[in-house]
Structure 1
Amino acid sequence: MDIEGLKARLAEANQEHLLKYWDQLSDEEKQQLYAELSHLDFKEINGFFKAAMEDLNSASEKLDDLLEPLPKEVWGGVVETSEADLLQYDIDGLTEIGESRVAVILLAGGQGTRLGVPYPKGMYNVGLPSGKTLYQIQAERLLKLQRLGEKVTGNSCKIPWYIMTSEHTKNATLDFFKKNNYFGLEEEDVVLFEQNLLPCIGFDGKIILEKPHKVALAPDGNGGLYRALNHSGVLKDMEKRGIKYIHVYCVDNILVKMADPIFIGFCLSKGATCGAKVVEKTFPTEPVGVVCKVEGKYQVVEYSEITQKTAEKRDSNGRLVFNAGNICNHFFTLDLLKFVSEPAQEKQMKHHVAKKKIPHVSDKDSKVTIKPDTPNGIKMEKFVFDVFHFATDRSFAVWEVIREDEFAPLKNADTADKDTPTTCRRALLNLHHRYLLAAGAQFVDKDGKVLPPSSEKEDIGGGDCKREDQDVVVECEISPLVSYAGEGLKKLVEDRTFSTPVYLDQDYTMEEPEIVEGEW
């Protein structure tokens, strides 16, 4: 260990305090701290902090005069699009999937802190009748989509699944997939890579020590994707496989349509290198970021940065002018990902600042870790959508989907009002109920009375709406291996009457679906 060299680097960066407890450490702890500090670029970190604090101090400036609504040229949506065009988008997307030119990136570096669990969110079971976790649901959707792509092209195809983890989630995620045999996917097609960690910093610019031998570190945000892609070799792996198009999404959306062929087909029709899937804001002040333009460049603006007057603006059709709610669901070409992941472009992305309560070593007793009651420092992170500003009108696309069909995030424990295991479970069950109704099925209660569609009896509002009726739900689940998005169900359920619960089951070892009715 070159401890004198490290001391010199720390002194130059005004971070000498990181070796404050050096003489108290065991040999093993010294090795750990030395390795951790040796990998940090203190000049770069100090620069990040200075720029982040300057942005934080100017964050109160409203953007109203700079905001522009999305131009019609980049816009499309499920509701406004004809059945013929939707079918063509679907075929075009499935063709690319069938030719093995599509990959999926899952952003799964965050911990389940707000959810109240000590393991990655993807391992969470929201209480579905099948007991499936988010990871299993998503893996099975990929398996089904591969089969749909094969039907269109006649080729045997693969959709490689790249999962960005963090120091906190990588081992648990890898062990979970191994234990479950990758849920039927090929091991070589599930690629885990790790995002970078950044030190947590006090308001005085000093890096925080969590323990005498450990720096307080946090993932660098989902926008850390681009640096991680460059450092991990994932981009080279994609190129080797012949990938051209990539779908990027967050792990916590139970309704996510991974590698959605319609979304891919729409983006291809626009010639887009970058695309965002959005939902319509339910009300002007809904706390969700908005996809729009700022000074001619595409970006996601946080709701807190927009005044109420601007948030309430409506067009001639009565729709909110700034209504494109961001759901972290994106399309990229490989060429764009390669471009934005280069250091010259990646460094242009600013760090966003979150004031946090960061545990730190006690000044009075180095054996004690203090958990503060108020924010004592910041975590710096980048966001995946920060690359939108590299796109032009001719290379950007926005696709609006129906919230109840595609967006129900899992963020909080059931003690909260929204984004909970209960709201996620109900969102999925209600979607599957609607799929079967559209396929010609009918449902009756225990007295034989026909049950109407769930939407007539409740409002679950995927994501940010509170429950109106906590008691009503038709228990109906469909394995993703039976149907990816409602297709192929008519031959199974048309003109049939079911009493709930109903489960259309099929795992990756079964050749035909099985319908289980009235029991689980």
Structure 2
Amino acid sequence: MRRCGMEEMGAIKEKLQRIGQTQLLDALDALRAQGDEDAAARLSDQLSQLDFDTLAAIRAQFFSSNASRSDETNALPYELDKLQPAQYVTLEAQNEQRESGEQEKFVSAGEQLVKQGKVAAVLVAGGQGSRLGFHGPKGAYKVSAARAKPLFQLFAEQLLAVMKKHNAVVPWYVMTSSANDEATRSFFKEHQYFGLDPDNVVFFVQGQLPAWDFSGRLIRERKDSLFMAPDGHGGCLKALKVSGALDDMKRRGIEHVSYFQVDNPLVSIVDIEFLGRHVIKGSEIACRVLRKRDAKEGLGNFCIYEDKLMIIEYSDLPDELANKRVAGGDELMFSAGSPSIMIFQLAFVERLLSDDSELSLPFHEARKKIPYVDEDGNRVDEPAEKNGCKFEMFVFDALPAAKSTLLVEAPRDTSFAPVKNPEGADSPDSCRAYMMNMHASWLEACGIQVPKKDDGQSVDCVIEISSLLATSAAELQVAIDKGLAKAEIPRELERGRTYYFE
């Protein structure tokens, strides 16, 4: 156990006083008075590792007044009547570009980036699968229809397919959390990195922030420790720098980063055309867009505010704006939803994180029931009501800082099938249905008959196509023509059977 020296404790004391946390000094004194030097050492060691500049920023943003924070009102940092809908490259426009041949230049530019080794993939995978009734990293959750492959494996096979096709290396940076880092690394080792070179899989750990009570004091969950919580997916960018992953990217010659989240197995991790559009446009951040199904769908809304692109959480967009329609039609005015699929210029990330940068991501507050130690030193595991605030950063808050951005619509049925809920929408079952329907459409495009249920749409068998065989209908046709599948693909599939093609 590390023990802080007198000089270090003096610096900690000064920093705690600066952010108004002298109650923690009292807690340390009380532990020592009780003769519990080990507990005091654990608490002081944790305090020594806090980012006091970040805590000072949170205190200034949320606790600069004496007003009570026990209510549920969050002041939004923008005037709602000044929000405008963001424009994006629609699927219709992309089809026109395909027919005119303009799309070819995007594909060519994207292929060039990959072949030159200038692209990396970044996966945000700090979550646990507890909401799904699964004990372990969410990326280890088995989701594919025929072979029950875990999410990590589906992503790994995509990367392997891209690297083989383009004879290139795409390093994979996987952000874990303190809760699942060891388990994630062990999972990859257990599965031999799913065929990837371990040198090209880089793990880095998400940062944490302490929770605060409504009066602006840091919360102790035990007598010798503060309550800590992940700092949000926006913490991914800072964690890249702190961990040394950013330096590793620079050493490899990476210039563009494909960012995605662990719960969406339909994501195209290295989307060649999207990369090409991004580099030709010269955007610092490019984002995929989903056209919202309804006004209150749980997707962030791309908006323009004071000539800057930003995302407004669906829960923050008032009903009158969410339901507003384009003049003379039924289409939503604020139709651009975010599936959290992005490409960053590495130079932009470096600029955002530089020591002299005036750019920074704001913090977002979430009021929660947080376990705490009361004044008598007793732990309260289940507070009767919300008693504190967790703070986190969102990666999309980098958008207003970018000098150039690009929004490109993605086809929902082949791009977005998140695994969030145990049942119903965005569940494992709905995800598998999306994946099977996509694979069925590839087979049908190759002239193979797929049985359907009475609704005429749902697949009436179990289908899974490995990315190692094909990642599109065109690639599947090539594989069929060349006889690349390990087992022959029949011209007609049978009802109720399970089919796996690799």
Bin of the TM-score, shorter chain as denominator length: 0.7 to 0.9
The residue identity in structure 1 corresponding to 2:60 is K
Could you tell me which residue of structure 2 aligns to residue 457 of structure 1? Answer: 457
Given candidates 310, 314, 319, the residue that maps to 2:325 is 314
Residue 70 (str. 1) matches residue 82 (str. 2): no
Residue 405 (str. 1) matches residue 417 (str. 2): no
**Structure 1 pair 334–11 and aligned structure 2 pair: CA distance change class (3 A):** closer
Deviations 1:235-270 (A, max 9, x none): 221121111211111111121110111211121232
Could you tell me which residue of structure 1 aligns to residue 340 of structure 2? Answer: 328
Deviations 1:368-426 (A, max 9, x none): 4422242211111111111110224xx21101011111111112223xx3221211122
1:43-192 equivalences under 5 Å are 44-52=54-62, 59=75, 63-71=79-87, 78-79=94-95, 81-83=97-99, 84-126=101-143, 128-150=145-167, 157-192=168-203
**Is the contact made by 1:408 and 1:419 (CA closer than 8 Å) also made in structure 2?**
yes
Could you tell me which residue of structure 2 aligns to residue 39 of structure 1? Answer: 49
The Cα of 1:92 is off from its aligned counterpart by: 2.6
**Structure 1 pair 405–325 and aligned structure 2 pair: CA distance change class (3 A):** same
Given candidates 450, 456, 470, the residue that maps to 1:483 is 470
**Is the contact made by 1:25 and 1:213 (CA closer than 8 Å) also made in structure 2?**
no
The residue identity in structure 2 corresponding to 1:139 is A
Deviations 1:178-213 (A, max 9, x none): 111111110010001122211011111111111111
SS in 2 for 1:353: strand
Could you tell me which residue of structure 1 aligns to residue 484 of structure 2? Answer: none
**Matched residues in 2 for 1:87 and 1:317: separation?**
33
**Is the contact made by 2:146 and 2:500 (CA closer than 8 Å) also made in structure 1?**
no
SS in 1 for 2:426: coil
Deviations 1:319-354 (A, max 9, x none): 222111011110111211111122444753210111
The Cα of 1:67 is off from its aligned counterpart by: 0.9
**Matched residues in 2 for 1:111 and 1:373: separation?**
25
Could you tell me which residue of structure 1 aligns to residue 23 of structure 2? Answer: 17
Could you tell me which residue of structure 2 aligns to residue 357 of structure 1? Answer: 369
Residue 282 (str. 1) matches residue 277 (str. 2): no
The residue identity in structure 2 corresponding to 1:2 is G
Could you tell me which residue of structure 1 aligns to residue 232 of structure 2? Answer: 221
For the aligned residue pairs, the C-alpha RMSD in angstroms reads: 2.7
**Matched residues in 1 for 2:140 and 2:201: separation?**
15
The Cα of 1:14 is off from its aligned counterpart by: 3.0
**Is the contact made by 2:301 and 2:336 (CA closer than 8 Å) also made in structure 1?**
yes
**Is the contact made by 2:210 and 2:219 (CA closer than 8 Å) also made in structure 1?**
yes
**Is the contact made by 1:313 and 1:322 (CA closer than 8 Å) also made in structure 2?**
yes
Given candidates 5, 12, 25, the residue that maps to 1:2 is 5
Could you tell me which residue of structure 2 aligns to residue 464 of structure 1? Answer: none
Q: Report the TM-score, using the length of structure 1 for normalisation.
A: 0.84
The Cα of 1:309 is off from its aligned counterpart by: 2.4
**Matched residues in 2 for 1:495 and 1:129: separation?**
17
**Structure 1 pair 71–362 and aligned structure 2 pair: CA distance change class (3 A):** same
Could you tell me which residue of structure 1 aligns to residue 485 of structure 2? Answer: none
The residue identity in structure 2 corresponding to 1:135 is F
**Matched residues in 2 for 1:203 and 1:330: separation?**
35
**Is the contact made by 1:62 and 1:306 (CA closer than 8 Å) also made in structure 2?**
no
SS in 1 for 2:467: coil
**Matched residues in 1 for 2:39 and 2:152: separation?**
36
**Is the contact made by 1:78 and 1:401 (CA closer than 8 Å) also made in structure 2?**
no
Residue 203 (str. 1) matches residue 190 (str. 2): no
The Cα of 1:8 is off from its aligned counterpart by: 5.0
Given candidates 296, 299, 312, the residue that maps to 1:301 is 312
SS in 1 for 2:142: coil
The residue identity in structure 2 corresponding to 1:102 is V
The Cα of 1:279 is off from its aligned counterpart by: 0.5
Between 1:220-229 and 1:70-79, the stretch displaced more is 70-79
The residue identity in structure 2 corresponding to 1:360 is Y
Between 1:105-114 and 1:182-191, the stretch displaced more is 105-114
Between 1:433-442 and 1:304-313, the stretch displaced more is 304-313
SS in 1 for 2:315: helix
**Matched residues in 1 for 2:375 and 2:82: separation?**
46
SS in 2 for 1:293: strand
**Is the contact made by 1:442 and 1:496 (CA closer than 8 Å) also made in structure 2?**
yes
The residue identity in structure 2 corresponding to 1:391 is A
The residue identity in structure 2 corresponding to 1:219 is P
**Matched residues in 2 for 1:441 and 1:95: separation?**
33
Deviations 1:12-32 (A, max 9, x none): 433233352523575544332
Given candidates 485, 491, 500, the residue that maps to 1:496 is 491
**Unmatched 5+ stretches in structure 2:** 481-487
**Is the contact made by 1:358 and 1:371 (CA closer than 8 Å) also made in structure 2?**
yes
**Is the contact made by 2:258 and 2:343 (CA closer than 8 Å) also made in structure 1?**
yes
Residue 423 (str. 1) matches residue 426 (str. 2): no
The Cα of 1:490 is off from its aligned counterpart by: 2.0
Between 1:189-198 and 1:314-323, the stretch displaced more is 314-323
**Is the contact made by 1:412 and 1:418 (CA closer than 8 Å) also made in structure 2?**
yes
The Cα of 1:78 is off from its aligned counterpart by: 4.7
**Is the contact made by 1:229 and 1:341 (CA closer than 8 Å) also made in structure 2?**
no
**Matched residues in 2 for 1:211 and 1:77: separation?**
57
The residue identity in structure 2 corresponding to 1:89 is F
The residue identity in structure 1 corresponding to 2:117 is S
**Unmatched 5+ stretches in structure 1:** 151-156, 445-450, 459-471, 507-520
Could you tell me which residue of structure 2 aligns to residue 380 of structure 1? Answer: 391
Matched positions, count: 475
Q: Report the TM-score, using the length of structure 2 for normalisation.
A: 0.87
**Is the contact made by 1:125 and 1:134 (CA closer than 8 Å) also made in structure 2?**
yes
**Matched residues in 2 for 1:59 and 1:81: separation?**
43
**Is the contact made by 1:440 and 1:490 (CA closer than 8 Å) also made in structure 2?**
no
**Is the contact made by 1:143 and 1:481 (CA closer than 8 Å) also made in structure 2?**
yes
**Matched residues in 2 for 1:380 and 1:328: separation?**
20
